[in-house]
Protein backbone atom coordinates (compact mmCIF):
# COMPACT_ATOMS: atom_id res chain seq x y z
CA UNK A 1 0.00 0.00 0.00
CA UNK A 2 1.24 3.45 -0.98
CA UNK A 3 1.60 6.21 1.50
CA UNK A 4 -0.57 9.06 0.28
CA UNK A 5 1.01 12.47 -0.28
CA UNK A 6 -0.24 15.61 1.43
CA UNK A 7 -1.11 18.60 -0.76
CA UNK A 8 -1.11 22.23 0.24
CA UNK A 9 -2.43 25.21 -1.67
CA UNK A 10 -0.88 28.38 -0.28
CA UNK A 11 -2.64 31.42 -1.70
CA UNK A 12 -2.88 29.88 -5.18
CA UNK A 13 -4.68 31.99 -7.78
CA UNK A 14 -5.05 32.07 -11.55
CA UNK A 15 -5.77 35.02 -13.75
CA UNK A 16 -6.22 34.89 -17.54
CA UNK A 17 -6.02 38.51 -18.59
CA UNK A 18 -9.17 40.00 -17.09
CA UNK A 19 -10.69 36.61 -16.29
CA UNK A 20 -10.22 35.38 -12.74
CA UNK A 21 -10.31 31.59 -12.95
CA UNK A 22 -9.18 31.08 -9.36
CA UNK A 23 -9.08 33.52 -6.46
CA UNK A 24 -6.34 33.15 -3.84
CA UNK A 25 -7.00 29.74 -2.32
CA UNK A 26 -5.41 28.14 0.71
CA UNK A 27 -6.23 24.58 1.63
CA UNK A 28 -4.43 21.59 3.15
CA UNK A 29 -5.27 18.04 2.11
CA UNK A 30 -3.97 15.29 4.36
CA UNK A 31 -2.02 12.17 3.39
CA UNK A 32 -4.37 9.51 2.07
CA UNK A 33 -7.44 11.72 2.06
CA UNK A 34 -10.18 11.36 -0.57
CA UNK A 35 -10.93 15.01 -1.22
CA UNK A 36 -13.63 16.18 -3.62
CA UNK A 37 -14.00 19.56 -5.30
CA UNK A 38 -17.62 20.29 -6.02
CA UNK A 39 -19.12 23.30 -7.72
CA UNK A 40 -20.98 24.62 -10.74
CA UNK A 41 -19.46 24.80 -14.19
CA UNK A 42 -16.76 27.45 -14.44
CA UNK A 43 -16.17 27.65 -10.68
CA UNK A 44 -12.45 26.87 -10.97
CA UNK A 45 -12.30 23.16 -10.12
CA UNK A 46 -10.19 22.06 -13.08
CA UNK A 47 -7.98 25.11 -12.73
CA UNK A 48 -7.18 24.17 -9.14
CA UNK A 49 -6.39 20.59 -10.14
CA UNK A 50 -4.30 21.86 -13.05
CA UNK A 51 -2.04 23.75 -10.67
CA UNK A 52 -1.31 20.50 -8.82
CA UNK A 53 -0.74 18.57 -12.03
CA UNK A 54 1.56 21.32 -13.26
CA UNK A 55 -0.33 22.10 -16.49
CA UNK A 56 -1.47 25.45 -15.13
CA UNK A 57 1.15 27.73 -13.61
CA UNK A 58 -0.52 29.75 -10.83
CA UNK A 59 -0.49 33.54 -11.12
CA UNK A 60 0.29 33.78 -7.41
CA UNK A 61 0.89 31.41 -4.53
CA UNK A 62 2.53 28.04 -4.16
CA UNK A 63 1.56 24.38 -4.38
CA UNK A 64 3.27 21.98 -1.99
CA UNK A 65 3.28 18.20 -2.25
CA UNK A 66 4.51 16.38 0.84
CA UNK A 67 5.71 19.74 2.10
CA UNK A 68 7.93 20.56 -0.85
CA UNK A 69 7.22 23.41 -3.18
CA UNK A 70 6.44 22.03 -6.65
CA UNK A 71 5.14 25.26 -8.16
CA UNK A 72 7.99 25.43 -10.68
CA UNK A 73 8.42 21.68 -11.19
CA UNK A 74 7.44 20.30 -14.63
CA UNK A 75 4.39 17.98 -14.66
CA UNK A 76 6.25 14.75 -15.51
CA UNK A 77 8.48 15.09 -12.48
CA UNK A 78 5.66 15.41 -9.97
CA UNK A 79 4.87 11.69 -9.80
CA UNK A 80 1.11 12.14 -10.02
CA UNK A 81 -1.43 9.75 -11.55
CA UNK A 82 -4.26 11.32 -13.52
CA UNK A 83 -7.66 10.21 -14.73
CA UNK A 84 -9.76 12.64 -16.71
CA UNK A 85 -13.24 12.48 -18.14
CA UNK A 86 -12.29 11.68 -21.69
CA UNK A 87 -8.79 10.61 -20.96
CA UNK A 88 -8.59 8.39 -24.00
CA UNK A 89 -6.79 5.09 -24.00
CA UNK A 90 -4.35 4.50 -26.82
CA UNK A 91 -6.65 2.80 -29.36
CA UNK A 92 -3.97 0.71 -31.07
CA UNK A 93 -2.52 -0.71 -27.85
CA UNK A 94 -4.08 -3.58 -25.95
CA UNK A 95 -5.40 -3.06 -22.44
CA UNK A 96 -2.19 -4.51 -20.96
CA UNK A 97 0.00 -2.34 -23.22
CA UNK A 98 -1.99 0.74 -22.23
CA UNK A 99 -1.41 0.02 -18.56
CA UNK A 100 2.27 -0.79 -19.16
CA UNK A 101 2.84 2.51 -20.95
CA UNK A 102 3.78 4.67 -17.94
CA UNK A 103 6.09 1.91 -16.71
CA UNK A 104 7.85 1.67 -20.08
CA UNK A 105 8.29 5.44 -20.03
CA UNK A 106 9.98 4.99 -16.68
CA UNK A 107 12.16 2.21 -18.13
CA UNK A 108 11.26 -0.46 -15.62
CA UNK A 109 12.55 -3.99 -16.31
CA UNK A 110 10.25 -6.28 -18.36
CA UNK A 111 9.49 -8.72 -15.55
CA UNK A 112 8.62 -5.92 -13.19
CA UNK A 113 6.31 -4.36 -15.80
CA UNK A 114 4.47 -7.65 -16.36
CA UNK A 115 4.05 -8.18 -12.63
CA UNK A 116 2.71 -4.67 -12.04
CA UNK A 117 0.35 -4.77 -15.02
CA UNK A 118 -1.14 -8.04 -13.74
CA UNK A 119 -1.62 -6.57 -10.31
CA UNK A 120 -3.22 -3.38 -11.70
CA UNK A 121 -5.60 -5.46 -13.85
CA UNK A 122 -6.62 -7.50 -10.81
CA UNK A 123 -7.15 -4.36 -8.81
CA UNK A 124 -9.73 -3.03 -11.29
CA UNK A 125 -11.15 -6.54 -11.75
CA UNK A 126 -10.17 -6.85 -15.39
CA UNK A 127 -7.83 -9.81 -14.92
CA UNK A 128 -8.91 -11.52 -18.15
CA UNK A 129 -9.01 -8.43 -20.32
CA UNK A 130 -5.30 -7.69 -20.80
CA UNK A 131 -5.28 -8.85 -24.44
CA UNK A 132 -8.32 -6.90 -25.58
CA UNK A 133 -8.32 -3.66 -27.51
CA UNK A 134 -9.98 -0.60 -25.92
CA UNK A 135 -12.72 -0.60 -28.57
CA UNK A 136 -13.78 -4.04 -27.34
CA UNK A 137 -14.60 -2.73 -23.87
CA UNK A 138 -17.64 -1.00 -22.38
CA UNK A 139 -17.36 2.60 -21.20
CA UNK A 140 -17.04 1.54 -17.58
CA UNK A 141 -14.36 -1.01 -18.41
CA UNK A 142 -12.39 1.60 -20.36
CA UNK A 143 -12.63 3.90 -17.38
CA UNK A 144 -11.24 1.13 -15.19
CA UNK A 145 -8.30 0.67 -17.57
CA UNK A 146 -7.62 4.42 -17.35
CA UNK A 147 -7.68 4.09 -13.57
CA UNK A 148 -5.30 1.12 -13.65
CA UNK A 149 -2.96 3.04 -15.94
CA UNK A 150 -2.96 6.04 -13.59
CA UNK A 151 -2.29 3.90 -10.54
CA UNK A 152 0.11 1.30 -11.96
CA UNK A 153 3.27 3.03 -10.81
CA UNK A 154 1.92 3.56 -7.28
CA UNK A 155 1.80 7.35 -7.32
CA UNK A 156 1.13 8.74 -3.85
CA UNK A 157 -1.26 11.27 -5.41
CA UNK A 158 -4.05 10.77 -7.93
CA UNK A 159 -5.96 13.55 -9.65
CA UNK A 160 -9.36 12.76 -11.13
CA UNK A 161 -11.34 15.33 -13.08
CA UNK A 162 -14.93 14.18 -13.65
CA UNK A 163 -13.69 10.63 -14.27
CA UNK A 164 -17.23 9.22 -14.36
CA UNK A 165 -18.80 12.06 -16.32
CA UNK A 166 -19.30 10.05 -19.48
CA UNK A 167 -21.00 7.07 -17.84
CA UNK A 168 -24.69 6.38 -17.35
CA UNK A 169 -26.21 6.56 -13.87
CA UNK A 170 -26.06 2.84 -13.04
CA UNK A 171 -22.48 2.49 -14.15
CA UNK A 172 -21.51 5.68 -12.36
CA UNK A 173 -22.85 4.33 -9.09
CA UNK A 174 -21.05 1.04 -9.57
CA UNK A 175 -17.82 2.84 -10.36
CA UNK A 176 -18.23 5.10 -7.32
CA UNK A 177 -18.24 2.02 -5.13
CA UNK A 178 -15.22 0.64 -6.97
CA UNK A 179 -13.30 3.87 -6.63
CA UNK A 180 -13.93 3.92 -2.90
CA UNK A 181 -12.74 0.35 -2.66
CA UNK A 182 -9.74 1.24 -4.80
CA UNK A 183 -8.91 4.15 -2.52
CA UNK A 184 -9.05 1.91 0.54
CA UNK A 185 -6.70 -0.59 -1.11
CA UNK A 186 -4.09 1.73 -2.64
CA UNK A 187 -3.95 4.36 0.12
CA UNK A 188 -3.06 7.20 -2.27
CA UNK A 189 -4.36 10.71 -1.73
CA UNK A 190 -7.12 11.42 -4.26
CA UNK A 191 -8.21 14.87 -5.45
CA UNK A 192 -11.50 14.37 -7.20
CA UNK A 193 -13.46 16.89 -9.24
CA UNK A 194 -17.17 16.51 -9.85
CA UNK A 195 -20.24 18.69 -10.19
CA UNK A 196 -22.47 15.93 -8.84
CA UNK A 197 -23.15 16.51 -5.15
CA UNK A 198 -24.31 12.97 -4.50
CA UNK A 199 -21.15 11.61 -6.03
CA UNK A 200 -18.98 13.88 -3.90
CA UNK A 201 -20.90 13.09 -0.73
CA UNK A 202 -20.82 9.36 -1.41
CA UNK A 203 -17.09 9.18 -1.97
CA UNK A 204 -15.19 11.92 -0.22
CA UNK A 205 -13.75 12.14 3.28
CA UNK A 206 -13.92 15.90 2.87
CA UNK A 207 -15.01 18.20 0.12
CA UNK A 208 -14.71 21.82 -0.90
CA UNK A 209 -17.65 23.69 -2.40
CA UNK A 210 -16.41 26.06 -5.08
CA UNK A 211 -18.13 29.07 -6.57
CA UNK A 212 -16.76 31.85 -8.80
CA UNK A 213 -13.17 30.71 -8.44
CA UNK A 214 -13.19 30.43 -4.65
CA UNK A 215 -13.74 27.78 -2.01
CA UNK A 216 -16.96 28.70 -0.20
CA UNK A 217 -16.60 26.04 2.48
CA UNK A 218 -14.65 22.83 3.08
CA UNK A 219 -15.32 19.93 5.41
CA UNK A 220 -16.83 16.45 5.68
CA UNK A 221 -19.96 16.13 3.50
CA UNK A 222 -22.26 15.68 6.49
CA UNK A 223 -21.00 18.82 8.20
CA UNK A 224 -21.43 20.91 5.09
CA UNK A 225 -24.98 19.69 4.72
CA UNK A 226 -25.87 20.16 8.38
CA UNK A 227 -23.97 23.40 8.97
CA UNK A 228 -23.57 25.36 5.75
CA UNK A 229 -21.89 28.69 6.40
CA UNK A 230 -23.69 30.62 3.70
CA UNK A 231 -26.69 30.49 1.44
CA UNK A 232 -24.73 29.27 -1.58
CA UNK A 233 -23.58 26.14 0.23
CA UNK A 234 -27.02 25.59 1.77
CA UNK A 235 -28.68 25.74 -1.63
CA UNK A 236 -26.00 23.87 -3.52
CA UNK A 237 -26.10 20.83 -1.22
CA UNK A 238 -29.45 19.18 -1.12
CA UNK A 239 -32.62 21.16 -1.19
CA UNK A 240 -33.48 24.09 0.99
CA UNK A 241 -36.53 26.25 1.47
CA UNK A 242 -35.11 29.74 1.67
CA UNK A 243 -36.94 32.64 3.26
CA UNK A 244 -35.60 36.19 3.27
CA UNK A 245 -35.41 37.77 6.68
CA UNK A 246 -36.52 41.41 6.95
CA UNK A 247 -36.31 41.69 10.76
CA UNK A 248 -34.81 39.49 13.45
CA UNK A 249 -35.68 40.05 17.10
CA UNK A 250 -34.02 38.01 19.84
CA UNK A 251 -36.77 36.55 22.03
CA UNK A 252 -35.06 34.08 24.37
CA UNK A 253 -31.63 32.51 24.74
CA UNK A 254 -30.50 31.71 21.22
CA UNK A 255 -34.02 32.14 19.82
CA UNK A 256 -34.93 34.65 17.14
CA UNK A 257 -38.29 35.83 15.98
CA UNK A 258 -37.96 36.38 12.24
CA UNK A 259 -40.17 38.36 9.98
CA UNK A 260 -39.75 37.37 6.34
CA UNK A 261 -40.25 39.01 2.99
CA UNK A 262 -42.43 36.07 1.97
CA UNK A 263 -44.84 36.71 4.84
CA UNK A 264 -44.62 33.95 7.44
CA UNK A 265 -43.06 34.87 10.80
CA UNK A 266 -40.85 32.15 12.22
CA UNK A 267 -39.09 31.11 15.36
CA UNK A 268 -35.53 30.05 14.67
CA UNK A 269 -32.26 29.39 16.47
CA UNK A 270 -29.34 31.66 15.79
CA UNK A 271 -28.04 35.12 16.26
CA UNK A 272 -28.09 38.24 14.10
CA UNK A 273 -27.14 39.17 11.43
CA UNK A 274 -29.88 37.15 9.86
CA UNK A 275 -30.19 37.38 6.09
CA UNK A 276 -32.02 34.20 5.24
CA UNK A 277 -33.61 31.25 6.98
CA UNK A 278 -33.21 27.80 5.38
CA UNK A 279 -35.38 24.84 6.21
CA UNK A 280 -34.62 21.46 4.67
CA UNK A 281 -37.67 19.74 3.11
CA UNK A 282 -37.04 16.61 5.20
CA UNK A 283 -37.16 18.60 8.44
CA UNK A 284 -40.73 19.71 7.85
CA UNK A 285 -43.62 17.59 9.12
CA UNK A 286 -46.93 17.54 7.28
CA UNK A 287 -50.36 16.41 8.48
CA UNK A 288 -54.03 17.30 8.17
CA UNK A 289 -54.21 18.07 11.90
CA UNK A 290 -52.24 20.91 13.50
CA UNK A 291 -48.63 19.98 14.25
CA UNK A 292 -47.09 20.50 17.67
CA UNK A 293 -43.89 22.20 16.68
CA UNK A 294 -42.59 25.67 17.42
CA UNK A 295 -43.53 26.69 13.88
CA UNK A 296 -46.83 25.52 12.47
CA UNK A 297 -48.63 26.87 9.42
CA UNK A 298 -51.77 26.08 7.55
CA UNK A 299 -51.37 25.44 3.87
CA UNK A 300 -52.64 23.74 0.76
CA UNK A 301 -50.95 21.04 -1.28
CA UNK A 302 -50.24 22.42 -4.76
CA UNK A 303 -47.97 19.70 -6.11
CA UNK A 304 -46.98 16.12 -5.35
CA UNK A 305 -43.92 14.33 -6.74
CA UNK A 306 -43.09 10.71 -6.07
CA UNK A 307 -39.40 9.90 -5.92
CA UNK A 308 -37.72 6.67 -4.88
CA UNK A 309 -38.35 6.22 -1.15
CA UNK A 310 -40.03 9.56 -0.59
CA UNK A 311 -42.85 11.89 -1.52
CA UNK A 312 -42.31 15.59 -2.09
CA UNK A 313 -45.21 17.92 -1.45
CA UNK A 314 -45.28 21.55 -2.42
CA UNK A 315 -47.35 23.33 0.18
CA UNK A 316 -48.49 26.94 -0.27
CA UNK A 317 -48.57 28.62 3.13
CA UNK A 318 -48.90 32.21 1.90
CA UNK A 319 -49.58 33.95 -1.39
CA UNK A 320 -45.87 34.32 -1.93
CA UNK A 321 -44.55 31.29 -0.12
CA UNK A 322 -44.58 27.64 -1.16
CA UNK A 323 -42.56 25.18 0.88
CA UNK A 324 -41.10 21.93 -0.31
CA UNK A 325 -41.75 19.11 2.18
CA UNK A 326 -40.24 15.66 1.87
CA UNK A 327 -41.54 12.64 3.73
CA UNK A 328 -40.18 9.14 3.58
CA UNK A 329 -42.58 6.68 2.10
CA UNK A 330 -43.05 3.03 1.37
CA UNK A 331 -45.89 1.04 -0.18
CA UNK A 332 -48.02 1.47 2.94
CA UNK A 333 -47.64 5.22 3.27
CA UNK A 334 -50.93 7.06 2.82
CA UNK A 335 -50.51 9.85 0.31
CA UNK A 336 -52.24 13.14 1.06
CA UNK A 337 -54.33 14.30 -1.88
CA UNK A 338 -53.70 17.25 -4.14
CA UNK A 339 -55.38 20.49 -2.93
CA UNK A 340 -55.73 19.09 0.59
CA UNK A 341 -55.80 21.60 3.43
CA UNK A 342 -52.84 20.61 5.63
CA UNK A 343 -50.54 21.82 8.37
CA UNK A 344 -46.77 21.96 8.09
CA UNK A 345 -44.46 22.38 11.04
CA UNK A 346 -40.89 22.37 12.27
CA UNK A 347 -38.93 23.32 15.37
CA UNK A 348 -36.84 26.45 15.77
CA UNK A 349 -33.64 24.42 15.63
CA UNK A 350 -34.56 23.02 12.20
CA UNK A 351 -34.18 26.40 10.52
CA UNK A 352 -30.68 27.55 9.70
CA UNK A 353 -30.19 31.26 10.01
CA UNK A 354 -27.46 32.54 7.71
CA UNK A 355 -26.12 35.87 6.56
CA UNK A 356 -27.51 36.52 3.08
N1 LIG B 1 -7.25 29.28 -20.84
C2 LIG B 1 -8.21 30.06 -20.34
N3 LIG B 1 -8.37 31.34 -20.73
C4 LIG B 1 -9.33 32.12 -20.22
N5 LIG B 1 -10.22 31.72 -19.30
C6 LIG B 1 -10.14 30.45 -18.87
C7 LIG B 1 -9.13 29.55 -19.35
N8 LIG B 1 -9.30 28.36 -18.74
C9 LIG B 1 -10.34 28.51 -17.91
N10 LIG B 1 -10.85 29.76 -17.98
C11 LIG B 1 -11.99 30.28 -17.22
O12 LIG B 1 -11.75 30.08 -15.84
C13 LIG B 1 -12.94 29.72 -15.15
C14 LIG B 1 -12.73 28.43 -14.39
O15 LIG B 1 -12.56 27.37 -15.30
P16 LIG B 1 -12.44 25.85 -14.86
O17 LIG B 1 -12.12 25.05 -16.05
O18 LIG B 1 -11.51 25.75 -13.70
O19 LIG B 1 -13.93 25.53 -14.35
P20 LIG B 1 -14.55 24.16 -13.82
O21 LIG B 1 -15.03 24.42 -12.42
O22 LIG B 1 -13.59 23.04 -14.02
O23 LIG B 1 -15.84 24.00 -14.76
P24 LIG B 1 -16.48 22.67 -15.45
O25 LIG B 1 -17.33 22.03 -14.37
O26 LIG B 1 -17.33 23.24 -16.53
O27 LIG B 1 -15.38 21.80 -15.93
C28 LIG B 1 -14.03 29.66 -16.20
O29 LIG B 1 -14.75 30.84 -16.16
C30 LIG B 1 -13.27 29.52 -17.50
O31 LIG B 1 -13.99 30.09 -18.57
MG1 LIG C 1 -13.59 21.36 -15.28
Same domain? For 199 and 304 the reply is no
**195 pocket-lining for ligand 1 (C-beta < 6 Å):** yes
Answer yes or no: is 330 within a domain. Answer: yes
Please list, in sequence order, all residues whose beta carbon lies within 8 angstroms of the beta carbon of residue 109, skipping any fewer than 6 positions away.
none
Task: Indicate which CATH number applies to the domain containing 117.
Answer: 3.40.50.300
Domain-ending residue, one of 181, 204, 234 = 234
Q: Whose Cα sits closest to atom 16 in ligand 1?
A: 44
Q: Within a domain: residue 79?
A: yes
Closest-CA residue, ligand 1 atom 22, reads 46
Decide: 42 in ligand 1 pocket, CB within 6 A.
yes
Same domain, 166 and 288: no
How many angstroms separate the alpha carbon of residue 39 from the centre of ligand 2? 10
Write down the mean pLDDT value for the chain: 91
- Ligand in closest contact with the CA of 210: 1
Regarding whether 107 and 46 lie in a shared domain, the answer is: yes
> 45 CB less than 6 Å from ligand 1?
yes
Nearest residue (by CA) to ligand 1, atom 25, is 41
Mutate which of 23, 36, 40, 42 for ligand 1? The one with the most ligand atoms within 8 Å of its CB, which is: 42
Residues 288 and 307 in one domain: yes
- The answer to whether residues 324 and 283 touch, using CB atoms and an 8 Å cutoff, is no
Q: Compute the distance between CA of residue 185 and CA of residue 205 in angstroms, rounded to an integer.
A: 15
C-alpha 41 – ligand 2 centre gap (Å):
7
In this structure, are 90 and 228 located in the same domain?
yes
**What does the pLDDT average to over 188-199?**
93
Same domain? For 257 and 220 the reply is no
Q: Which of 234, 268, 303 is the last residue of a domain?
A: 234
In terms of Cα–Cα distance, which of 155, 152, 158, 166 is closest to 35?
Answer: 158
Same domain for 138 and 215? yes
Q: Is 41 in the pocket of ligand 1 (CB under 6 A)?
A: yes
Q: Are residues 174 and 315 in the same domain?
A: no
If residue 268 lies in a helix (H) or strand (E), which one and from where to where?
strand 265-269
Q: Which residue has the higher pLDDT, 329 or 87?
A: 329
User: What domain range is 124 assigned to?
Assistant: 7-234
Are residues 100 and 224 located together in one domain of the fold?
yes
Q: Which ligand lies nearest to the CA atom of residue 57 in the structure?
A: 1
CATH code of the domain in which 278 resides:
2.40.50.100
Q: How many CA atoms lie within 13 A of 143 on its CB side?
A: 22
Q: Are residues 291 and 192 in the same domain?
A: no
Q: Is 170 in the pocket of ligand 1 (CB under 6 A)?
A: no
**Number of structural domains the chain divides into:** 2
Q: How far apart are the first and last CA of the chain?
A: 46
Residue 311 lies in a domain: yes
Instruction: Name the CA radius of gyration of the chain, rounded.
Output: 25
Ligand 2 mean position, distance from CA 45 (Å): 6
pLDDT in tens, 21-65: 999 999 999 999 999 999 999 999 999 999 999 999 999 999 999
Using 50, 70 and 90 to split pLDDT, how confident is the model at 1? low
Q: Is the pLDDT higher at 37 or at 119?
A: 37
| Across 81-91, average pLDDT | 81
Are 186 and 124 a contacting pair, CB within 8 Å?
A: no
Q: Are 287 and 294 spatial neighbours (Cβ–Cβ below 8 Å)? A: no
Q: Which numbered ligand comes closest to the C-alpha of 213? A: 1
Residue at 202 is within a domain: yes
- Residue having the nearest C-alpha atom to atom 1 of ligand 1: 16
Q: What percent of the chain has pLDDT over 70?
A: 99
Q: Is residue 1 part of a domain?
A: no
Ligand 1 in reach of 18 Cβ (< 6 A): no
Mutate to test the pocket of ligand 1, among 36, 41, 47 (most ligand atoms within 8 A of CB): 47
Same domain flag for 98 and 216: yes
Q: Is the pLDDT of residue 177 over 80?
A: yes
The answer to the question of residue 2 being in a domain is no
Q: Which of 234, 256, 287 is the last residue of a domain?
A: 234
Task: Report if residue 285 sits inside a domain.
Answer: yes
Chain Cα centroid distance, residue 311: 24
pLDDT digit string, tens, across residues 215-274: 999 999 999 998 888 889 988 888 889 999 999 898 887 889 999 999 899 999 887 778
Amino acid sequence: MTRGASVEFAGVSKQYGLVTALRPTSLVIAQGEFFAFLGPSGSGKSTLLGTVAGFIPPSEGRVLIEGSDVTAMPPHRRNIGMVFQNYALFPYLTVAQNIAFPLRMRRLPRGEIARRVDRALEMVRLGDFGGRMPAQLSGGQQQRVALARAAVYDPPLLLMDEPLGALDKTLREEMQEELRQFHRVVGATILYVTHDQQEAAAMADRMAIMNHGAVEQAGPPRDLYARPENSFVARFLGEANVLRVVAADPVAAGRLHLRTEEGPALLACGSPPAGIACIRPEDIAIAEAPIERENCFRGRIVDIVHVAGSIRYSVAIAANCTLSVRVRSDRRTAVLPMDAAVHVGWDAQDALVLPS
